[in-house]
Amino acid sequence: MALPKGLSSVLAKSPSDTVILSSLRTPICRSYRGQLKDAYPEELLSVVLRATLDANPNLPPEAINDVAVGVVLSELGGSKAARMAMNHVGFPHSTSLYTVNRACSSSLQSIATIAAQIRGEMIGVGIAAGMESMTRNYGSKAIPVDLWPELRESPVKDARDCIMPMGLTSENVAQRYKVGRKEQDEFAVESHRRAARAQTEGYFNDEIVPVRTRFQEVDKQGNKIGEEKQIEVTKDDGIRANATFEALAKLKPAFKEDGASTAGNSSQVSDGAAATLLMKRSTATELGLTSSIIGKFVAATTVGCAPDEMGIGPALAIPKLLNQLGVEAKDVNRWEINEAFASQAIYCVRELGLEKDWEQGKVNPDGGAIALGHPLGATGARMTATLIHGLRRSGGEVGVVSMCVGTGMGMAGLFVRE
């Protein structure tokens, strides 16, 4: 099916549109110390899948044909645990499931893939989700342990650079494109300020699903303090409302002795899950669910770039997407650009000519991954939930989600609010 061309075509409603009926997420919490540290990724997935059913009570569970789950770090690609979680919370075994791994864009990829299945009439209704527990599964820092030795010593630099630590790619972007430490710290403080305001104002309430789970308090050495508790987690716990430039400026570089990327101006290692329900508009009409439509997925695209500066991905993916759709940057009301590192987020905002949009609060208006966290497999779906609900609050129509992707890629998706 041909993509719509031009803003009016993007905004026009058609029975063949891929529409969104719900887009939900768990709180995003700090790995190792946050409130979801003792939860399993598939446990978090089960929460958002069950919440999707509950949010759409007039949709029979058996009408959902397939579920795609973005996940990066889980054992066996997360496929068995995810399928078990889906069955556990009330889906019939006739609903199928698979997992998707495109690193940081895995759950945006799951949205694009479910949409493609719907458009190709492989399925009628699908859920695109993502899950990650970096607490449980980040031991190797997302670098393969058992790797063909010839690749580590490959004469091809781009091959070797695919396992370059992400922090060093951030330093490359900062050095090559002249993004200084001061502006990185200022950007990080602003991310926390925006996220703290959004949390205080209740902006995340409609997208967050509470999680009831276990929590065992531990000291810095990992020793247990007291008894394990049952808790209900209702909000993101990585936001630092009191973050200041002076405090961030004192932090030492985290990846390179003379570098500029620190724990304070990089995305947080996080735990969380998210899920988005999609179907064709004509299917929603047939099922009597038209009034439940909250948005539509229009298109997505991916690009490749040098692995040693993977952070520039959005600056390449976004123009490609807009060009494919015949849409201009000025037509976009809200941008969600993942803050893997302040260095690359700043570069992308500059390269895309979005400095004024950033200042006016059209880019990451409610903060980004520096404040909210980056649970790898769930980030794309989390950003989509924040985008759709944010557009509904502001009255904006067009939004873009984009992120850089480890090993040298970028991905971007365009959505419309209804």
Query: 29, 305, 348, 404: which is the annotated catalytic residue?
Result: 404
Query: 29, 104, 162, 348: which is the annotated catalytic residue?
Result: 104
State the burial class of residue 43 (Cβ atoms within 10 Å of its Cβ: 0-12, 13-18, 19+).
buried
Question: Can you tell me whether residue 267 is helix, strand or coil?
Answer: coil
Question: Can you tell me whether residue 400 is helix, strand or coil?
Answer: strand
Query: 29, 305, 374, 389: which is the annotated catalytic residue?
Result: 374
Amino acid at 328: E
Give the residue from 55, 49, 23 showing the smallest Cα distance to 384.
23
Number of C-beta neighbours around residue 251 at 10 A: 15
Residue 279 and residue 283: Cα distance in Å, rounded? 6
Could you confirm whether 29 is annotated as catalytic?
no
The one-character DSSP state at 259 is -
Give the residue from 344, 307, 325 showing the smallest Cα distance to 399.
325
Amino acid at 314: P
- Using the Cα atoms of residue 353, residue 358, residue 364 and residue 370 in order, give the sign of their dihedral: positive
Q: What is the DSSP string of 351-369?
A: HTT-HHHHHTT-BSTT--H
Could you tell me which residues come within 8 angstroms of residue 260 by beta carbon, excluding any fewer than 6 positions away?
171, 174, 179, 180, 181, 184, 253, 343
Could you confirm whether 104 is annotated as catalytic?
yes
Instruction: Judge whether 8 and 190 are in contact, CB under 8 Å.
Output: no
Number of C-beta neighbours around residue 256 at 10 A: 16
Give the residue from 272, 291, 273 showing the smallest Cα distance to 281.
291
Phi-psi category of 283—alpha, beta or left, where left has phi over 0 and alpha has psi -120 to 50? Answer: alpha
Residue 386 and residue 220: Cα distance in Å, rounded? 33
Residue 70 and residue 108: Cα distance in Å, rounded? 8
Active site residues: 104, 374, 404
